[in-house]
Amino acid sequence: MEYNIALLKGDGIGPEIVDSAVAVLEKVADKFGHKFNFTPYLIGGCAIDAAGMPLPQETIDGCLASDSVLLGAVGGPQWDDQPGERRPEKALLGIRSALGLYTNLRPARLYPALRSASPLKDEIVGKGFDLMIVRELTGGIYFGDRGYRDGKYGREAFDTEAYSVTEIERIGRVAFDSAMKRSKRLCSIDKANVLESSRLWRKVMHELSVEYPEVAYTDMFVDNAAMQLVRDPSQFDVIVTSNMFGDILSDEASQITGSIGMLASASLGASTRGMYEPIHGSAPDIAGQNKANPLATILSGAMMLRYSFGLSAEADCIEDAVNSVLDKGYRTADIIGDSTASPLSCTEMTDKVLSEL
Ligand code: IPM
Ligand code: MG
């Protein structure tokens, strides 16, 4: 099969880790007789520097014309004083919205080989955990009405959280469907004791749960969920939640794996075109030094093969290669933990994965 893949390398370590994933995807294409055509487009700070805006129209058009999108990371201190509309992060929200990517899948699993890197106590991580956060990605407070107005205490800024039945239902279905493919447990997280939008969220989720009698459905308030994630993450399988709560909880979930440099994500919409990116950021402190961990981006490439192209044997092949590299004890600096081995560079780690394929 032949696929066109748009590359949004972005800023910081973005170019290095995307190059690693491309090398891996090319090797897999060779091995299985596919052809992947890669076309790079600008996004984030590099697009501000080159084109004066973080998300040029050419980038949106290029992504819309491709079969799928692989993204590195955006942002860095040199663009931090840009006004809100021109911040690199705005490009991320913009491209998600332009591509209609309302679902964000963020798996957070504990790699047994990396257990010692988790900040949680042995008695907690001993049980292991493997959870899938399904985050709503194009609605809620990140996209709601915002502005300035005169309030009770004078000038104030506001943002609005709003969810429609349609938006809740479509993300709910994705979550119930993924629970059906996993261990059939789904926890919906909201703040229904305070927020009207959460009360609607909970009502719609409850109604949907009737259609999925095999799924053990529960709901939980977000403050409790934040606590339960560090108290006993093994209680969760699939979590579904709003854009902002998902943003926050997915960072927490990635941290407890001890290996944020390992975690991939997929953003999906109604079509098979998705956008795949590592969960970690652009790490400006190590950019250009060949120190970054490429595994999350390589694994994002595997998710692309699985979710956008339906190439599950090829995706398995990449995931197996990553697992065996870890089992053999190879580590980049971020996951070295208390190992005495010397850390591999980004390109060395990529070569290890390539040689396992
Ligand atoms: C993420 C990031 C983004 C988000 C930012 C950079 C806009 O934190 O992907 O989680 O909030 O969605
Ligand atoms: Mg985030």
Q: Which of 195, 228, 256 is the last residue of a domain?
A: 256
| 195 and 236 belong to one structural domain | yes
pLDDT of 89: 87
Which CATH number belongs to the domain containing residue 147 in this structure?
A: 3.40.718.10
Catalytic positions are 142, 191, 223, 247, 251
| 96 and 25 belong to one structural domain | yes
Instruction: Tell me how many domains the chain contains.
Output: 2
For the Cβ of 51 lying below 6 angstroms from any atom of ligand 1, the answer is no
Residue 11 tokens read as 């800023």
Judge whether 264 lies within some domain: no
Q: Which of 256, 283, 317 is the last residue of a domain?
A: 256
pLDDT at 260 over 90: no
Judge whether 262 lies within some domain: no
| Minimum-distance ligand 1 atom for the alpha carbon of 88 | 6
| 239 and 283 belong to one structural domain | no
What distance in Å separates the CA atoms of residue 353 and residue 338, rounded to the nearest whole number?
Answer: 22
Nearest residue CA, atom 4 of ligand 1?
A: 247
Judge whether 185 lies within some domain: yes
Nearest residue CA, atom 3 of ligand 1?
A: 89
Question: Residue 176 burial by CB count (10 A; 0-12/13-18/19+): exposed, middle or buried?
Answer: buried
DSSP E strand stretches across the chain: 2-10, 35-40, 68-73, 103-109, 130-136, 146-151, 154-159, 185-190, 216-221, 238-241, 264-268, 274-278
120-144 pLDDT, tens per residue?
999 998 888 999 999 999 999 999 9
Instruction: Say how many Å lie between the CA of residue 298 and the centre of ligand 1.
Output: 20
Mean pLDDT, residues 33-54? 96
| 246 and 316 belong to one structural domain | no
Q: Say whether 343 sits in a helix, a strand or coil.
A: coil
Nearest bound ligand to the CA of residue 282: 1
Judge whether 109 lies within some domain: no
Longest dimension (CA), the chain: 66
For the Cβ of 174 lying below 6 angstroms from any atom of ligand 1, the answer is no
Nearest residue CA, atom 10 of ligand 1?
A: 247
Instruction: Say how many Å lie between the CA of residue 355 and the centre of ligand 1.
Output: 33
Instruction: Say how many Å lie between the CA of residue 1 and the centre of ligand 1.
Output: 33
Nearest residue CA, atom 5 of ligand 1?
A: 89
Any residues with CB less than 8 A from the CB of 116 and at least 6 apart, and which?
258, 337, 338
For the Cβ of 92 lying below 6 angstroms from any atom of ligand 1, the answer is yes
| Minimum-distance ligand 1 atom for the alpha carbon of 265 | 9
| 76 and 123 belong to one structural domain | no
| 282 and 309 belong to one structural domain | yes
- Between strands 154-159 and 146-151, the pairing is antiparallel
Nearest residue CA, atom 12 of ligand 1?
A: 247
User: Is residue 84 very low, low, confident or very high in pLDDT (cuts 50, 70, 90)?
Assistant: confident
Place of tokens 């990371």: 73
Residue 183: which domain range?
Answer: 119-256
Q: Which of 256, 289, 323 is the last residue of a domain?
A: 256
Judge whether 340 lies within some domain: yes
Q: Which range (107-111, 159-163, 238-242, 291-295) has the least confidence?
A: 107-111
For the Cβ of 275 lying below 6 angstroms from any atom of ligand 1, the answer is no
Instruction: Say how many Å lie between the CA of residue 295 and the centre of ligand 1.
Output: 20
Residue 232 tokens read as 């006993």
Judge whether 189 lies within some domain: yes
Which of 11, 80, 86, 92 is the pocket-test mutation for ligand 1 (most atoms within 8 Å of CB)? 92
| 236 and 289 belong to one structural domain | no
What percent of the chain lies above the pLDDT cut of 90?
A: 88
pLDDT of 335: 87
| 233 and 283 belong to one structural domain | no
| 296 and 335 belong to one structural domain | yes
In what helix (H) or strand (E) does residue 88 lie, and over which residues does it extend? helix 88-98
Place of tokens 């059939």: 184
| 252 and 281 belong to one structural domain | no
pLDDT of 331: 92
pLDDT of 218: 98
Judge whether 53 lies within some domain: yes
For the Cβ of 180 lying below 6 angstroms from any atom of ligand 1, the answer is no
| 246 and 282 belong to one structural domain | no
Instruction: Say how many Å lie between the CA of residue 156 and the centre of ligand 1.
Output: 24
pTM as predicted: 0.93
| 15 and 53 belong to one structural domain | yes
pLDDT at 325 over 80: yes
Q: Which range (51-65, 112-126, 298-312) has the least confidence?
A: 112-126
